[in-house]
Amino acid sequence: MQNIITYKKIGHIALVTINNPPVNAMDFKTRLALSDAIDQLNSDNKIKAAVLICEGRTFIAGADISEFDNLPFKDPWLPDVVQKIEDANKPVIAAIHGSALGGGLEIAMGCHFRCAVPSAKLGLPEVTLGLLPGATGTQRLPRLIGVDKALDMMLTGKPINAKQAIEEGLIDKIIEDELQEGAIAFAKEILEKQIPIRRLSKTKIDKTNVTTELFEKYRQRNNKTACGFFAPEKIIQCVEAAVDLPYPESLQVEDNLFMECLNSDHSRGQRHLFFAEREIARIPDVPKDTAIRNINRVAIIGAGTMGGGIAMNFLQANIPVTLLEIDQEGLQRGIDIIRSNYAGQVKKGRMEQTHMDQYMELLSGSTAFDNISDVDLVIEAVFENMEIKKEVFKKLDQVCKPGAILASNTSTLDLDVIANYTKRPEDVIGLHFFAPANIMPLLEIVRGKKTTKDVIATAFKLSRSIRKVGVLAGVCFGFIGNRMFLPYVREAELMMLEGVSAERIDRVACNWGMAMGPHAVTDLSGQDVFFKIVDGWKDHPDDPAFFRVCKALFELERYGQKTSKGKYIYEGRKAISDPKVANIAQQEAEKLGIEQREISDDEIIKRLLCAMINEGALILEEGIAIRSGDIDVIYANGYGLPRYRGGPMFYADLIGLKQVYDDINEFRDRYGNRYWTPAPLLEQLAKQGKTFSEWSQHK
């Protein structure tokens, strides 16, 4: 215990220091040690006040989330430790650096005073894990900064900086110099001025502006920004209880609702993604100490929408970019689009003009390959055509310096074929960005047969530098994301041939939680894009019904949003149902001899998800994805699957692989085995009563 908490006397001040690297999480041993330290403080007659401070790079960054799956919690549980600090018979001052998040901020609010360095961040991000601040946070924060500001912090989960914190009353003092000395001086000031101890549980909430309409406003906001999520409503209910009930009763409401959140499938899904996103960079055969190549300058081949979006990521990471196009007109158009995008952010107040100017200074353009001979990384973002990419990589092989990483943004094509057009396939990697590339967080890092480990390690470091969620994928058609997405869209298309309208399929998908339905997605990307992807796939199923509606729309030049007609009619971006599309689907079904029938909402969602899950099982078995969690991260960050579902593979684990296996067998009996043959891995795990997650951990 002494290694976790040290108790040191400096005159009449006790310095209680937590040292639980890497982030001073409030796990069982730390809670127990802190509880013992408070007992020592209370019994130490020579001490007049205490400073609670942390070693390392941060204050307490939260509770130990891994304990949340191991109920019951070991005593002392965090709310009890917070209360014990508040009940201390001497002033306790929290001295904050780094981040005071979640349970860390709740500990700080249990203290009687709070000070922080200017760079500190404070927040209650539990909502991002499907939880609420369950260690008295929903009760203390409204008492400290007011109901509306407390709701803003808890419902968004976003931290605030020290300047905001002192303005809102969350902290009492900013320490400009050395934190320990400043906090001790602050403690002495409190004693000298005899400032009364402030115990938040005894503090009344300011109800001046608290009305029923206030809570309704936040509920309406939730319906827009967090529709479907479980925890936000429970947070509002906790704050309502804080306003309406005595503290002990409202605290019981918080405790009950916290356990409801903790035991919900939503929180399980969000906690799964929390850990999965921290696991993705662990590549079994790429050691942590693998040498990293320096990336000081980048070139992007292709100044279109995708190339420009990719460039913006590097500019915002202060990495110089050369944008290359075949002619000056196309190059200037691409640069102008980047400038326009930044200008729009400045106009909306999301970016400072000085930052825009800085980014544009880092951008240069060229129409000559020789001008990118000194770059450390080049990313090809030209049209999705193997012949075009072949010529690009042959040229890059000739002009790029030794050791430069040659990357392709291809979304479906064979990276190994592309790499073989160079004499250095070991330097070739896939960096598959998702549109819009400057906004979407996902980056598929595609490993070729000959890609070296240091190139992979560099790609992961780079993904973090440009604030992307990088996930490793092997080489196959569509890699992980698109390979799984095609069966999902395939079933959506086939159900149209069976008589289900596009809007009903999309509605069912959205009601389940998808950000957009499959047909709205294909209209957004373009029916022409999907047709060309499928048409160019050499090994696509020999089935005349495969993407038949997409093909018919392509031939009618109904490409989607870009032509204002696709599976929907568009007024701007507003999608309007078009009866003609149902007629087109019916006509194509008649040509194919497909009978139209009634299909339930339950079957719609099962077919969409089972098609995706079964393909995911094949991807795992083939080694295209390392872990099932990697697939889940891809779908949560790139395909609009709600975080509270945890990803397609986690969802399958949650409902049971036996259920998924049985559903697929039922579809096989009804529709045949062309698409509905259970993946061997799925069948194996279903019969063993195991999960994809267990298989991933023990393979």
Q: Which residues are identified as catalytic?
A: 106, 126
Give the H/E segment covering residue 693: helix 692-698
Sign of CA dihedral 402, 408, 413, 415: positive
CB 579 within 8 A of CB 553: no
Report which of 260, 277, 271, 273 is spatially closest to residue 67, judged by C-alpha positions.
271
**How far is Cα 405 from Cα 312, in angstroms, rounded to an integer?**
19
Residue 33 neighbours by CB distance under 10 Å: 20
**Three-class SS of residue 70?**
coil
The secondary structure element, H or E, covering residue 218 is helix 212-225
State the pairing for strand pair 5-10/13-18: antiparallel
- Is-contact 450 475, C-beta < 8 A? no
Structural Rg of the chain based on CA atoms: 28
DSSP letter (8 states) at residue 93:
E
Give strand ranges (E) for 409-555: 428-433, 442-446, 469-473
Q: How far is CA 396 from the centre of its chain?
A: 34
- Secondary structure element (H or E) that encloses residue 148, with its range: helix 147-156
Pairing of strands 377-380, 442-446: unpaired
**Torsional sign, CA 346, 348, 351, 352:** positive
Dist. CA 176–CA 309, nearest whole Å = 39
Long-range residue pairs from 187-195, CB within 8 A, at least 24 positions apart, any chain: 187/13, 187/49, 187/50, 187/51, 187/91, 187/93, 188/13, 188/49, 190/49, 190/91, 190/93, 190/113, 191/12, 191/48, 191/49, 191/91, 195/91, 195/113
45 vs 239: CA distance, rounded Å: 38
Give strand pairing partners of 113: 93
DSSP state of 205: P
Strands 569-571 and 574-576: antiparallel
Are the C-beta atoms of 521 and 638 separated by less than 8 Å? no
**DSSP helix/strand/coil, 533:** helix
CA distance 506 to 568: 11
Bridge partners of 363?
321
Alpha carbon 144 to chain centroid, angstroms:
30
Q: Is 425 exposed, middle or buried (0-12, 13-18, 19+ CB in 10 A)?
A: buried
